[in-house]
Structure 1
Amino acid sequence: WCVPIGTQCLHAAGAALAFKIRKEPRVAVCTIGDGGSSKADFNSALNVAGAMNLPLVAVIVNNGWAISVPRTAQTGAKTLAQKGIAAGLECLQVDGNDLIAMRAAMDHALKRARHGHGGMVIEAVTYRLSDHTTADDARRYRSEQEVKDAWEREPLRRMKAYLKSLNAWTDDEEAALKEQCIKYVDAEVNAYLETRAQPIEAMFDYTYADLPADLAAQRNEALDWEKRA
């Protein structure tokens, strides 16, 4: 992922090209949302992956909503997976709420790419159950019933039900796992809270091997400000 929407796909294509040049049996994987798949960066990454037969796997997380824009208004394509066809990539649409199906799709894509058969686009059809961000209120643009129905397809619930049907998971095991996770999270949070505050110059010292002149000047200004504070 990358904050500027879609640029991570170009980064992944560049990494895939490096793997190919170095003859490394590695694959670059990028993920992007349904809205992000409309960006030029995404299509450019697919194009170069197809033209140069790169080991790139692009996973489109189709949430149904790109913030407040529904999938139906986002693109006229019948599927998002088929956006890779023009680039010459293999395309596959998968139930993104089925963890086993997603694992199988990724295994297939990775094996193809590692053996020199080129990249692949996987569309994971799923749903964003929460708000897009803390600044978003999804109740403004989608119905309560739609979200309620989506919870019935939530992947962890489905996996839990499947494992219990095989007698491979119990409520006692789940309770023990949750307790273990709570202790782990608490320990990590406390470790963070106990971390000492970093000096103001730390924001400059770990960014560049050789600090550019303008940032060196800012660093000096920050140190002077700190001394006067």
Structure 2
Amino acid sequence: MFVVNNNQWAISVPRALQCGADFLADKAHGAGIPGLKVDGNDVVAMMDAITTSITNARKGKGATLIEAISYRLSDHTTADDATRYRSDDELDTAWEYEPIARLKTFLETQGWWEEPNETELAAESKKLIEEAVARYLNTPPQAPETAFDYLYEQPVKELRPQRDELINKSMRMQGGGHG
């Protein structure tokens, strides 16, 4: 399963100028696989498409490309200023379809979500994040050569000299840079 997040922009260029196809999912047909267009801001629709695609793949029915049609609500990078190439009105309209708010509204209208749920979830999430950050900060760094160890399923003999050179450089650096 392949998921393409079509956020409507390629940095500062509209998606329509980047690709002649009406939808990116249409490109799946060139690879001989089905392509689905899904509202990427609809969590329920995305879950359905993903579940169906995984089920089909596990049944041996092949791959699926899912185009999650969404909208990038923020700048592309810290160096980007999206106000240069899109209007405030366009952005305001896009915020009306923001996926977390949409999911919350759906759950509330179904009677499946209330404010105490949110308070509890926020506290639990904060705790999990703090624990994960602590685990990360306490994780010793990996040896540089592990980049070679897990790059391929089986070691590649052509990369062995590069891996050995990296180990030797690391040892020299740890020994004060002499060698």
Structure 2 gaps, min length 5: 150-159
Q: How does 1:79-228 map to 2 (within 5 A)?
A: 79-193=23-137, 195=138, 202-204=142-144, 206-208=146-148, 212-225=163-176
Q: C-alpha separation between the residues in 1 aligned to 2:174 and 2:62? A: 51
Shift of 1:153: 0.2
Q: Are residues 102 and 219 of structure 1, via their aligned partners in 2, closer, same or farther at CA, if it must alter by over 3 Å?
A: same
Contact 2:145–2:166 (8 Å) recurs in 1:
no
- AA at the equivalent of 2:144: F
Q: Are residues 196 and 175 of structure 1, via their aligned partners in 2, closer, same or farther at CA, if it must alter by over 3 Å?
A: closer
Q: C-alpha separation between the residues in 2 aligned to 1:196 and 1:80? A: 40
Tell me the TM-score normalized by structure 2. Answer: 0.81
- AA at the equivalent of 2:164: A
Number of residue pairs matched by the alignment:
167
Tell me the TM-score normalized by structure 1. Answer: 0.65
Q: Are residues 179 and 77 of structure 1, via their aligned partners in 2, closer, same or farther at CA, if it must alter by over 3 Å?
A: same
1:159-208: CA deviations, max 9, x gaps?
A: 11011111110012111211222233233334545x3875xxx5335344
Runs of 4+ aligned residues of structure 1 deviating over 6 Å after TM superposition are none
Q: Are residues 183 and 118 of structure 1, via their aligned partners in 2, closer, same or farther at CA, if it must alter by over 3 Å?
A: closer
Secondary structure of the structure 2 residue equivalent to 1:86? helix
Shift of 1:137: 2.3
1:46-92: CA deviations, max 9, x gaps?
A: xxxxxxxxxxx111111001111111111111111110112221121
Q: C-alpha separation between the residues in 1 aligned to 2:49 and 2:175? A: 56
Q: How does 1:4-83 map to 2 (within 5 A)?
A: 57-83=1-27
Q: Are residues 220 and 120 of structure 1, via their aligned partners in 2, closer, same or farther at CA, if it must alter by over 3 Å?
A: same
- AA at the equivalent of 1:204: P
Q: Percent identity?
A: 40
Q: C-alpha separation between the residues in 1 aligned to 2:134 and 2:63? A: 43
Structure 1 gaps, min length 5: 1-56
Root-mean-square deviation over aligned CA pairs: 2.3
- AA at the equivalent of 2:68: A
Secondary structure of the structure 1 residue equivalent to 2:144? helix
Secondary structure of the structure 2 residue equivalent to 1:123? strand
